[in-house]
Structures are given as structure tokens and as C-alpha cells.
Structure 1
Amino acid sequence: MELNEAQVNKATSALLKYFESTKKNDLLADDSPVWLVLSTKILPDNSRVKPIKIPLKYPIFDENSEVCLITKDPQSEYKEMLKELGITRINKVIGVTKLKKKYKPYEAKRQLCSSYDIFLADDRIIPIVPKLIGKTFYEKKKQPVPIKMKKGVLLKEITNALNSTYFFVNNGGCSSIKVGLTSQTPEQIAENIMYSINYIVDKVPGKWKNIQRLSIKTNKSVALPIYSSLPDEAKKIEFEPIKNETEQDEQDEQ
């Protein structure tokens, strides 16, 4: 089973045109992630603490991205390791003890979550991380990504982490995976989708047979379908002008 590349290109073009039209009316609007929304026919048995790494052709994290690294204690040891290796992509290092004490209040966790684009964490502490960071990180899909903190592989681990996106498997039948940015071109986003889709589907129990629908959206748009498991339904998919969430709600009420 394969996605129709032409259809994916039409969808990414339509989505970015809509985003640009809304941005003209909101000068303060920030660039948005582009999400691949995956709906399955059968619910997964359980959720995963560790996100699944998915490679991208065009990375969504760059030199301007804010990166936070969560480490074992003492955090000073790992700050020194980063300095020694000449690694400059990490903006903040937080040890477990500091995470427990300084970021215990809900508001402190919320501010921490909003301050960074991606969180990395020593893979040895991943099992204890969920209760330390709270639900805000999961709601924003910013669960820390596990990396190996051995000196010989650390640079490669960080580079690979920042060149990937992540599939967070939950208990529901719908998952969202960041596959691009509105600052990228429609072609780059489409290539990211085509490049990563088989990696993503391979992690779904039942693979393509369990995929009900695939759509793409921004933070504030409705979802544009790019694949449906029902042939007749797929034929009906048209790339009409996208309504924002308010317009869609008003239409549903009529």
C-alpha cells in the first residue's frame, strides 16, 4: 500500500495557502507545525513511555530551536561533557534532583514545557520521567526523547534526535505526528510525509490494514484527508477551501 504522492502534494499546497491567508489577518500569528493525523481501526493495547523515532528528509528542528536536556545527577558532569565535546545545540541542562525540586509546581512545569521546542533525556531515567514532568508535556506532545549519554556516541545521538520526528503511541485510536513546519515549502512537507510514512505505518499493529485514515493539519486548521481505507470515500475527497475551527463549528450547528 502506498500514498498517492500527487494527492499529498495537493493537500500540503492547500494547507499552506490557507495558513498564509489566515496569517495576513493575524500579524502576530506564529509559524505552526504541520501534523500528520493517523486514525486506526483497532485501538492499541497500551501506550508507550518512549516515543518512536521517525526519520525526516527535511528536519523540523534547526539551529534556532530551543533544546533542553534532562540528565542524571550531577547535572554539572553532563554540562562539562557537552562543553568538552563542543556540543552547542543544547540550550539547557536539568538534572533529576533539580527537576523534582524547582519544577514541582504545575505552573513551573507549564513554563518549562513552553520554553523549549524539544526535550531530550538520558535513556536511563526515562522510566521515572513521566511523573516528574506532568501531563502538560503529554498534551503538548513534548515528552522527552531518550538518548544514550555515553561520550563516544553523544554527538551522534543528539544529531539524530534533532533530525527526526516522533510517534507518540497513546491508548486512543488517533495519533498526531509532526511532519513539517509552515515555514517549509509544500514540496518539502510532502517529501517528509512520503519519506516517513512507511516507517510510521510499520510501527502500527496490523500496518496498512489497520490504517483507517491519514490527514494533515496545522494547529488551527481542520484536517485535510490524504488517505482513506475506503476506496469509495477516497474518491470523494476534494481539496476545497479549508475552514478554520470557528467556521466549522458554526457550520455544524446549522
Structure 2
Amino acid sequence: MVSSKSILQNNTKKENLIKNKVVDKIKKPRKNKVMEKTEGEHKRKKVSIKAIIQDEKVVQKKKKVKFIMPSKYVTESIVESCLNAINQLAAITKKKNAIFEDEQPIFAEIHCIKIQTSKGNVKFVFPHSTASSSGEVCLITPDLKKGRKIDHEPTVDHWEEILRNAGITSVKTVLPMRQLRVEYDQFELKRRLLTQHDFIMVDTRVLNHVSHILGKMFFKKHNMLIPVRLNEKKKDIKMAVDIGLRTSMLRLSEGPTSVILIGHTGMSKENLKENVLSLVKQIQDKYPGGEANIRSIALKLPLSLSVPLYITLRPSNSVVNPPKMRMKKPKTFRDFEDELSTIPNSRVRVAPDGTVSLSKQESSASDEEEPTDEKEEVSDNDEESDNKE
């Protein structure tokens, strides 16, 4: 016979088990089919992402990405295709603006990865002239005689005769320094001088004075104030003027883009191609940061879209330090150091930019003994003079 106590115990155990199952169901609800599908998709995605990352690591180990520099990428065929596109854009603009039939300038637009630390100008010399055949070329020369009341016409005649004897026909106007100061003293007259001439060359002897007189307005236009070395004694004035006509200045400002003139639409395709290739070669040494700091190079007209010549996806981490301008220092560009008489045991140093630095020297025992010897010598000399008297 089964006792009543055992029956009650079995019933309580069953009730407790049922209660525990209900509580578990309440705490952990059933998963829907949608939830099960989403969890499965997440697991599959995680597995696929891990596999992709492992594959990328294996590929990076096997093959490292090598970025091509512009000097190796830009070839003659690429330059020819870009120039063909530029010629088509020039033909379209001629149809739209039939009045303007002049030669249009062609520019090279350069984008950098990291901006240089300071502003400046970089001089590029091309194998062919960038000045148009119908353009007005002006030459600013120094005066033969300095003074306010001296006439400037003799200097004009003097330089025109020199240019005529050298066989130079590209220079249309000669402008001495005195005429520039007297006749172009107002803003409107300076702007007229800027608009009348397409190319302005300045003798290196008066370049700083001319840039100070004309102001920053002339630095905004391309190919303005080209430095030229004119020596009357040496017979190489024609070569100096030809080099000036083949030079172009790259204005580097605070932004990442800079533009330089490389030619015009009236030039032959071969000459333009040589100018572009020479620009790419000179960028290696003259551009701040070298060719590794170049993001893209493109060709364009004044009012047209830019045709890409070179583009790279090189990361900015490839250029570690900010690029700096390479300035050529003259031979006399050095510090001058000497003793300072007003302060004892000190030396003064003057830099070419005008900065002055003072350095003191430690006084030694020998320096202290020297004045005593000088006093004794002076006393002996005084005794000799007294005896003579």
C-alpha cells in the first residue's frame, strides 16, 4: 500500500517542476523565425568579413601597392591625347565667341598633397617661348643717369639701339625706371600698363624697385615681371631676352592649387608637347616636396574644363614633413661677425635679413693681465717723452 505522504510529496514535486518551466518560459521567450534568420545572417556576415580581411592581408603581403610618379607616368602619347582634347575645346570656344580670334593661353593646373610652409615664386624655363606672336612685350630697364629732373628719352633711345643691333624684334616698348615712377604713379595707370602688355620683363638690377612701385596687382596675372639679366658689356643680350620669353613663373599661395602658363593655341603641337614634358621633369627639383607631393596635373584654357594629365590616390601620410621652398642664396649671402666696442667681452652677428644677435665671451685671466702691460708701456713712453723735453 502506498502511503498518503509519498503521494503528496510526488504531487508537490510535479507542481514545482511545472512552476519552474513556466518561469523559464517567461524569462526566456521563444525566438521567432525572423529572429533566428537575422542571427544566422549576422553569423554568416561575420564569417565572410573575417575571410575578406584575411584575404586582403594575404594580398597585401604578396603585392605591395606601388604608386607611379608623374615623371614615369606622363609619356608622349598621353600628352598628345590631352593636347587633342584642348584643341577641340579651343575650337568650341571659337565658335561660341567669334569676335575673339586671338591666340588663347594654355595653362597647367597643379594640385599638391600637402601645402608648402611659405609663399613664393618658382621659375621654370621651357624649350619654346610662351609669348604669343601678337602679344605686346615690355622691357623695364635701369636709368643711365639718376635724378628727378633728368630726361628719360636718352635711355629709351640707348636701349632701343642695343636691341636693334642685337636683332631683337619681339620687344615692342622700352620703359625706364624714371618714366615708370613719373607716368605710372596712379592705380588706374598701373592697371592700364597691365592690360596693354601681355609680357613684362624686368632687369634684375631694378627688379625689387619695380615690384615695390607696381604693387601686388602685377603678381596676380600670369607671366608678369619676368627677371632678365641684361649686360651691356657682354654680347649675350639676345640670349637673355630669349630665355626671358621662355620662362614662366609659378605662383605658390596658401591653397593646394597653382597654375602656370605653358604656351598658347597658336603654337605647334610638338612645341607644346616639349614644354609639358619639360615642366614634368623640372617639377622633381623645383616644386616644394618634389614630384611625390603632387596629387594631379591637368591642362586647361582660361574658360574651359581641365583635361587631366596625371592623377594619383597616394595617401597624405606618404609626405611626412611639410614641404619647404628651396631658395637660391647669392654668394654674398652670409653672416658678418665682429667685436662690439660698446659692450666689453661681446661679439655681434648681423644676418643678411637684418637680424642682429649678441653673444658674450667669458673673461679669462690673460685678458685681465693685458691692460696692466698696456699701462706699463704707456708709462714708459711718457717717461721717454718727459726726458726728451
TM-score normalised by the chain length of structure 1: 0.80
1:139 aligns with 2:220: yes
1:196 aligns with 2:282: no
From 117, 137, 141, the counterpart of 1:71: 141
Alpha-carbon distance in 1 for matches of 2:184, 2:88:
40
Moved more, 70-79 or 215-224: 70-79
Instruction: Tell me how far 1:162 sits from its aligned partner.
Output: 1.6
Match of 1:41 in 2: 113
Alpha-carbon distance in 1 for matches of 2:222, 2:116:
18
Task: Report the count of equivalent residues.
Answer: 230
Instruction: Tell me how far 1:185 sits from its aligned partner.
Output: 4.2
Instruction: Tell me how far 1:136 sits from its aligned partner.
Output: 3.1
Alpha-carbon distance in 1 for matches of 2:229, 2:274:
29
Instruction: Tell me how far 1:130 sits from its aligned partner.
Output: 1.9
Alpha-carbon distance in 2 for matches of 1:122, 1:35:
25
**What do residues 2-46 of structure 1 show as CA deviations (whole Å, max 9, x unaligned)?**
233233222221121022022112111232111001111222233
Match of 2:348 in 1: none
Q: Alignment partner of 2:120: what SS?
A: coil
From 11, 21, 38, the counterpart of 2:92: 21
Whether the 8 Å contact between 1:54 and 1:167 is mirrored in structure 2 is no
Aligned residue runs from structure 1 range 144-163, under 5 A: 144-151=225-232, 152=234, 153-163=236-246
Change (3 A) 1:105 1:172: same
Considering only CA atoms, is the larger Rg found in Structure 1 or Structure 2? 2
Whether the 8 Å contact between 1:35 and 1:178 is mirrored in structure 2 is yes
Whether the 8 Å contact between 1:38 and 1:174 is mirrored in structure 2 is yes
Identical positions, percent: 25
Alpha-carbon distance in 1 for matches of 2:287, 2:311:
16
Please list every run of 5 or more consecutive structure 1 residues that lacks an aligned counterpart in the other structure.
233-254
Counterpart residue type for residue 277 of structure 2: M
TM-score normalised by the chain length of structure 2: 0.54
Instruction: Tell me how far 1:193 sits from its aligned partner.
Output: 0.7
Q: Alignment partner of 1:70: what SS?
A: strand
Whether the 8 Å contact between 1:32 and 1:218 is mirrored in structure 2 is yes
Moved more, 161-170 or 116-125: 161-170
Q: Alignment partner of 2:211: what SS?
A: helix
Q: Alignment partner of 1:98: what SS?
A: helix
Match of 1:248 in 2: none
**What do residues 35-87 of structure 1 show as CA deviations (whole Å, max 9, x unaligned)?**
001111222233336x513223x422365432111111143343343344443
Flag the structure with more relative contact order, 1 or 2, with Cα contacts below 8 A and sequence separation at least 6.
Answer: 1
Instruction: Tell me how far 1:206 sits from its aligned partner.
Output: 1.7
Counterpart residue type for residue 43 of structure 1: I
Whether the 8 Å contact between 1:52 and 1:168 is mirrored in structure 2 is no
Please list every run of 5 or more consecutive structure 2 residues that lacks an aligned counterpart in the other structure.
1-68, 145-154, 316-389
Aligned residue runs from structure 1 range 34-183, under 5 A: 34-48=106-120, 52-56=123-127, 58-61=128-131, 64-74=134-144, 75-76=155-156, 77-151=158-232, 152=234, 153-183=236-266
Determine which structure has the larger helix proportion and give its number.
2
**What do residues 81-117 of structure 1 show as CA deviations (whole Å, max 9, x unaligned)?**
3344443332111112211221122221111112222
Instruction: Tell me how far 1:190 sits from its aligned partner.
Output: 2.9
Q: Alignment partner of 1:168: what SS?
A: strand
Alpha-carbon distance in 1 for matches of 2:169, 2:270:
30
Instruction: Tell me how far 1:218 sits from its aligned partner.
Output: 0.3
Instruction: Tell me how far 1:139 sits from its aligned partner.
Output: 1.9
Alpha-carbon distance in 2 for matches of 1:97, 1:198:
40
Alpha-carbon distance in 1 for matches of 2:94, 2:189:
31
Whether the 8 Å contact between 1:72 and 1:95 is mirrored in structure 2 is yes
